[in-house]
A and B are shown apart, each in its own frame.
Chain A
Amino acid sequence: MSWVTKTLSSTIGRKLIMALTGLFLILFLTGHVSGNLLLFKDDGGEAFNIYAKFMTTNPAVKLLSYLTYISIIGHVVFSIWLSRRNKAARPVGYGVSTPPSTTLSSRNMGILGTIILIFIVVHMQSFWAQMHWGDLPVVTYEGEQYKDLFSIVSFAFQNELMVIGYVVAMAFLAFHLSHGFASAFQTLGLNHAKYSPAIAVIGKIYCILVPILFASMPVYIYFTQS
């Protein structure tokens, strides 16, 4: 084994991959939520459709999107690898186990992550796959043709079940981030009297703000488009 594979397959190395992919996905979510705020623009989806075309054609964004796919897969694969080891580390459980003073989220990151993964698959099937290979209606703005992703989005969120599903999924995301954000920095070794309190505060704000913004999109479309 080379020193790289030795390091990355150690328990700390696997955690390093979890932290780095997790932090990259946090950056991705920031970009994703910012761009999608265009859904709130009252222009029949013009700005959103132009943005969607940019996001699927720009070479720099393409590179970032591949990094995102790798991060999602890496985060999942390494979490399974870690979880299997962690389960094996305690083959016989306790008769009595009082939950200590730890958060529910921190003890259930795997379950939260699994629910989020299911959401991501459904979400990508609904919109990402449609944008790439679906038979989308075409709209023309200033002589240029664009795929009308907005019509697909606004149609999807006429459905109450879709809206409820998205809001619930974002609640799970909030809990996952409430532990994951600060935990990633701790794993990277960034535990410092000056910065850790700030990281904790930013993490708390982030884990509430971003999921709320995401969840407000289907709710907004449901009430304005139907």
Chain B
Amino acid sequence: MKLTLKIWRQKNASDKGGFVTYPIDGISTDMSFLEMMDVLNEELAVKGDDPVHFDHDCREGICGMCSLYINGHPHGPKQTTTCQLHMRSFSDGDTITIEPWRAAAFPVVKDLVVDRGAFDRIIQAGGYVSVNTGGVPDANEIPIPKRIADEAFDSATCIGCGACVAACKNASAMLFTSAKISQLAMLPQGQVERMSRAEKMVAQMDAEGFGACTNTGACEAECPKGISLTNIARMNREYFSASVKSENV
């Protein structure tokens, strides 16, 4: 395959940045999108140019590290992660525009790499369960209905990649935050810190400068893990009820 790549290049956080066009040849349809980027970077390295920086880690679609806004879609045209996107999704001669996630809360570090530390800080604010370690508990000691377990697991499949923020016209992090609140709010283990979790995680989400939700559903449509908007409704319920009932005046 012969392609034209239009890639966002930015030296550092304070650089203005801009698009640079690279022609590339000899791309196999079996390559993943990131392997195609590797081919480009090898060519750039041979020429003595600075390779294009992009985030990646497991390349198995489970770590949430890869990003890239490809031709107007986070993670490209398929509902999967960029690492699981293959070049057969494109045609010979295509022009592919590659941009970093765009959000005030996700500042560009270099080229296509953005700092998603805001998500870590939202998790640190309350996205955990405090447990006292002790003896190994018996299996099925705490009964959880199958339907609830499934729903909590669906929320827990969020890999925190930030595609929801990238897709949202308001750069809102509500799909991410709601999935992380939901996965614990539905389970018995999450009950102790349930109210403070909702209050603290929403407060941190706002403090990071993410936008609000307009219920367009763009996040749900672009999420590589298919996290549903029902999570956002649940987060709103959790937040309202925590605001009204908690002892935090």
Q: Which residues of B contact A15 (CB under 8 A)?
A: 212-213, 236
User: Which residues in window 79-121 of A have CB below 8 A to B?
Assistant: 82, 85-86, 88-98, 100-103, 106-107, 109
Of A41-49, A129-137, A153-161, A186-194, the segment with at least 4 beta carbons within 8 Å of chain B is A186-194
Q: CA–CA, A83 to B154, complex, Å?
A: 31
Asked if B218 and A102 make an inter-chain contact with CB atoms under 8 angstroms apart, the answer reads yes
Total chain B interface residues with beta-carbon distance under 8 A? 48
User: Which residues in window 192-215 of A have CB below 8 A to B?
Assistant: none
A88-B104, A187-B236, A191-B233 given as contacts; is B99 within 8 A of A96 (CB)? Answer: yes
Asked if A89 and B202 make an inter-chain contact with CB atoms under 8 angstroms apart, the answer reads no
Q: Which residues of A contact B6 (CB under 8 A)?
A: 95
A15-B213, A89-B172, A186-B215 given as contacts; is B236 within 8 A of A98 (CB)? Answer: no
Asked if B99 and A89 make an inter-chain contact with CB atoms under 8 angstroms apart, the answer reads no
Asked if A12 and B215 make an inter-chain contact with CB atoms under 8 angstroms apart, the answer reads no
Q: Which residues of A contact B34 (CB under 8 A)?
A: none
B214 close to A (CB within 8 Å): yes
Q: Which residues of A contact B99 (CB under 8 A)?
A: 94-96
Q: CA–CA, A97 to B122, complex, Å?
A: 27
Asked if B249 and A3 make an inter-chain contact with CB atoms under 8 angstroms apart, the answer reads yes
Q: CA–CA, A135 to B46, complex, Å?
A: 85
Residue interface mask B212-243, A partner, CB < 8 A = 1: 11111110011000000110111111011001
Q: CA–CA, A188 to B172, complex, Å?
A: 17
A16 close to B (CB within 8 Å): yes
A53 close to B (CB within 8 Å): no
A86-B172, A188-B236 given as contacts; is B202 within 8 A of A109 (CB)? Answer: no
Residue interface mask A136-153, B partner, CB < 8 A = 1: 000000000000000000
User: Which residues in window 30-88 of A have CB below 8 A to B?
Assistant: 82, 85-86, 88
Q: CA–CA, A16 to B235, complex, Å?
A: 12
Q: Which residues of B contact A6 (CB under 8 A)?
A: 243
B44 close to A (CB within 8 Å): no
Asked if A187 and B209 make an inter-chain contact with CB atoms under 8 angstroms apart, the answer reads no
Q: Which residues of B contact A190 (CB under 8 A)?
A: 233
Asked if B169 and A189 make an inter-chain contact with CB atoms under 8 angstroms apart, the answer reads no
A15-B236, A98-B71 given as contacts; is B102 within 8 A of A3 (CB)? Answer: no
Asked if A100 and B218 make an inter-chain contact with CB atoms under 8 angstroms apart, the answer reads yes
Q: CA–CA, A15 to B229, complex, Å?
A: 15
A89-B171, A93-B102 given as contacts; is B249 within 8 A of A11 (CB)? Answer: no
Q: State the A residues within 8 Å of B (CB).
A: 2-3, 6-7, 10-16, 82, 85-86, 88-98, 100-103, 106-107, 109, 179, 182-183, 186-191
Q: State the B residues within 8 Å of A (CB).
A: 6, 8, 19, 69, 71-73, 97, 99, 102-105, 167, 169-172, 174, 202-203, 205-206, 209-218, 221-222, 229-230, 232-237, 239-240, 243, 248-249
A and B contact pairs by CB, cutoff 8 A, 5 listed = A86-B171, A101-B221, A103-B216, A106-B216, A106-B217
With A7-B239, A95-B6 known, 11 other A-B pairs at CB within 8 A are A10-B239, A11-B172, A12-B240, A89-B171, A90-B169, A94-B72, A96-B99, A101-B217, A106-B217, A107-B214, A191-B234
